[in-house]
Amino acid sequence: MTGRLVLVGTPIGNLGDLTPRAVETLRDADVIAAEDTRRTRALLSHAGVPAGHRLVAVHEHNERARAAELVDAIQAGATVAVVTDAGMPGISDPGARLVRTCLEAGVTVGVVPGPSAALTALVVSGLPTDRFAFEGFLPGKATARRRRLAELAEEPRSTVLFESPHRLADTLAELLDAVGPNRPLVLARELTKLHEEVVRGSVASALDHVREHPPRGEYVLVLGGAAPVEPSDEDVAAAAGAAVAAGRSAKDAAVQVAAELGVPRRRAYDAVVAARGNPGRAREPGR
């Protein structure tokens, strides 16, 4: 008989967000793999679920070694529930390596969805949510950190980051250098808790706020996307010339240039006509 691995989302602050299905899964599990067994024991007590001897510590320092043990237990028929201190396992928390190990062993992996600090901060931020990127914690090493910040300077999507209170001011200062003072930024802390705080503004105003109010607790940052850069006439002309040189018709070349550079079809077509040696403003076929 083969068991299964179940990732269980847990509250990020308000214990009332623990779902009935999560309670049922934790009650029925043979093993509960927990990032911090003390915090999970308290959560189980709140939910009225006996912990017994089912708790096993699985954290960033032992996940690789524990994974093989848990796979053996699952293949012997056990149901293993995975929880972290808060939120969804595997999102800037232990769980991802365990999932990969289970999948490689042909073990069934399920999930009981629950709260997510990243999504909670994103939807309350007021910034665009149709497209977004999740960065989690920035790299600790200076070189990798600078490279990631340079990428954020050009990222057009809203970006969600995590940061600890003792690093927050330094991170905001680095963000200011990388993306400028006016990029929209939202700071969120204590989400779903009694003293929830959401500060909306810019990178510069967020840094001023943190310098005036010493940070407490874990923070979620939602950074607004970079403003789109309008292609120059030279860029459009170069793309039109390349399309014409490739032998495309005026209409096909205009479609290609418009798609590549995100410019209006009319502008692309005029550039193509110019590239084909027609100095006049021609009418695009089919328009």
Q: What is the pLDDT of residues 144-172, one digit of tens each?
A: 999 999 999 999 999 999 999 999 999 99
- pLDDT digit string (tens) for 177-216? 999 999 999 999 999 999 999 999 999 999 999 999 999 9
Distance CA 193, CA 198 (A): 12
Mean pLDDT computed over every residue of the chain: 92
What does R_g of the chain's alpha carbons equal in angstroms? 26
Mean pLDDT of 82-94: 94
**What is the amino acid identity at position 8?**
V
- Give the C-alpha distances (Å, rounded to integers) separating 236 from 102, 230, 233: 50, 10, 5
Distance CA 13, CA 104 (A): 33
The pLDDT assigned to 278 comes to 55
Residue 69 has pLDDT above 50, yes or no: yes
Distance CA 284, CA 287 (A): 6
Residue 281 has pLDDT above 70, yes or no: no
Residue 74 region by backbone torsions, left for phi larger than 0, else alpha for psi between -120 and 50, else beta: alpha
Q: How confident is the model at residue 1 (pLDDT cuts 50, 70, 90)?
A: low
Q: What is the pTM of this model?
A: 0.79
- pLDDT digit string (tens) for 3-27? 999 999 999 999 999 999 999 999 9
